[in-house]
Amino acid sequence: MKIPLYKIPIQLLYLAAACLTIVALTGCADVKDNSSEDQDNRLKVVTTVSPLTSLVENIGGTLIQLEGLIPEGVNSHTFEPSPSVASVLAQADLIVLNGLFLEEPTLAMAQANKQETATLLLLGDKAITKDEWVFDFSFPEANGHPNPHLWTDPLMGIKYAELILQELIRLDSVNSEYYQANFAKLKVKTEDLHQRIVLAVETIPPANRKLVTYHDSFPMFGARYGIEIVGAIQPSDFTEPSAKSVAELIDQVKALNVPSIFGSEVFPSPIMEQIAKEGGAEFIDELRDDDLPGTSGDLQHTYLGLILSNMQIMIPALGGTAEAFTNFDPSVVFVGNQTAIYP
């Protein structure tokens, strides 16, 4: 039965007219119009450890979408990516890993899930040749896997940054001037920090220029600045060292009169305290290799902040002074808010 229009409340008639107008303007009430929404066409870049994430962020700035995969404070050598990481890798235009066998499970997942057009950049593999590989206690030559911690040497960090710059320009040449400008600023800052380290190391008594750490993270750093890497506590299988190894290291610390040995919150080890106590050395458990200081968004939560923090801890502990680092600014070089996702 039809209801006469004069019996329908005027408010309902107004409402019906409004709905018809909306449908007419949109074409269909059930269809969502995305034409007015901003489409994010920036390069999608995925990285692994946070020092690499920071280097990419400094160069890519606000013009890339950037996500780090390996949570800070997690052992990058034993990190196993969750299945959800596959979808992140599948959307990436550029996947940046350290390489040199550091992130093998993540590398395998990337190779299996990346787009055909995506670029896989292994920084360490491109930064040095096989003849330049470094083997040590944690990374013995018998295992065939070199020490992958190249980034603790800031000049090697510049080499990493150059490789990152090349790929960003290749993939997004329209914004090449922006990337080059950011890289130039980062290079100047990093070279400045390098010179400050040289000056700071000179204040360490020559007999004290010896480094004992829980993990072999500073091979390139030691060679660069004339600091002898005496040894590391952690064996190649990342377990606790044997009683024999501990006794040998205690004797070595005593014989060389090593002033301090360095641990890390990422690699807690009560054995290091024992070695320090029996070897007559101070134990400091604050060094970092792939765990940036502070939290995401902090001015020092950067690659340069990582190097600076280690120097401010290491140099005084070895008998030197950290005055050379006064007023050094480790913050990101680009203008704008921090863009990277640090898990």
pLDDT of residue 38: 54
Would you state the pLDDT for residue 92?
Answer: 98
In a domain, residue 304? The reply is yes
Phi, psi torsion values for 309, nearest 5 degrees: -60, -45
Its pTM stands at 0.86
The answer to whether residue 12 is domain-embedded is: no
> How many CA within 13 A on the CB side of residue 140?
8
Q: Which of 196-200, 245-249, 266-270 bottoms out in mean pLDDT, i.e. has the lowest?
A: 266-270
Examine the domain organization and report whether 47 and 188 are in the same domain: yes
Determine the pLDDT at residue 190. 98
More confident residue, 150 or 7: 150
Angle at 163 between CA 326 and CA 114, to 5 degrees: 120
Are residues 217 and 275 both part of a single domain?
A: yes
Q: Could you tell me which residues come within 8 angstroms of residue 163 by beta carbon, excluding any fewer than 6 positions away?
A: 121, 123, 126, 127
Say which residues have a Cβ less than 8 Å from residue 72's Cβ, sequence separation at least 6.
Answer: 50, 290, 291, 292, 342, 343
Residue 138 pLDDT grade (very low, low, confident, very high; cuts 50, 70, 90): confident
Which of 38 and 39 is assigned the larger pLDDT? 39
Rounded CA-CA distance 18/20 in Å is 5
Give per-residue pLDDT as tens, 50-80.
Answer: 999 999 999 999 999 999 999 988 888 889 9
Lowest mean pLDDT among 5-19, 204-218, 296-310: 5-19
195 pLDDT exceeds 70?
yes
Q: Percentage of residues in the chain with pLDDT exceeding 70?
A: 86
> Is 297 inside a domain boundary?
yes
SS3 category, 290: coil
Dist. CA 219–CA 150, nearest whole Å: 8
State mean pLDDT over 103-130. Answer: 97
- Whole-angstrom Cα distance, residue 233 to residue 313? 19
Most confident of 125-134, 208-217, 255-264, 294-303: 125-134
Residues 184 and 83 in one domain: yes
pLDDT of 144-192, one tens digit each?
999 999 999 999 999 999 999 999 999 999 999 999 999 999 999 999 9
Q: Quote the mean pLDDT of the chain.
A: 88
pLDDT(93) > 90: yes
Percent of residues, the chain, with pLDDT higher than 90: 68
* Residue 297 and residue 204 share a domain: yes
- pLDDT value of residue 267: 65
Are 188 and 211 members of one domain?
no
Model confidence at 340, in pLDDT bands (50, 70, 90)? confident
Q: DSSP readout, 137-170? A: SSS-GGGT-----GGGSHHHHHHHHHHHHHHHHH
Residue 37 scores a pLDDT above 60: no
Whether residue 257 sits in one domain with residue 165 = no
Of the three residues 153, 171, 192, the one that is the final residue of a domain is: 192
Query: What is the pLDDT averaged over residues 95-112?
Result: 97
Residue 160: which domain range?
43-192
Residue 268 has pLDDT above 80, yes or no: no
DSSP 203: T
Burial label for 113, CB within 10 Å (0-12, 13-18, 19+), is: middle
Of 192, 223, 255, the residue that ends a domain is 192
Write the Ramachandran bin of 176: left for phi over 0, alpha for psi from -120 to 50, otherwise beta: alpha
Lowest mean pLDDT among 10-19, 63-72, 263-272, 309-318: 10-19
330 part of a folded domain? no
4 alpha-carbon distance from chain centroid: 72
- CATH number assigned to the domain comprising residue 155: 3.40.50.1980
pLDDT digits over 218-261, tens only? 989 999 999 999 988 877 667 777 888 889 889 999 999 999 99
Residue 139 clears pLDDT 50, i.e. is over it: yes
Which of residues 139, 169, 192 is at a domain's end?
Answer: 192
C-alpha 41 chain-centroid distance = 24
Q: How far is 143 from 133, CA to CA, in rounded Å?
A: 13
pLDDT of residue 266: 67
**How many domains would you assign to the chain?**
2
- 218 with 165, same domain: the answer is no
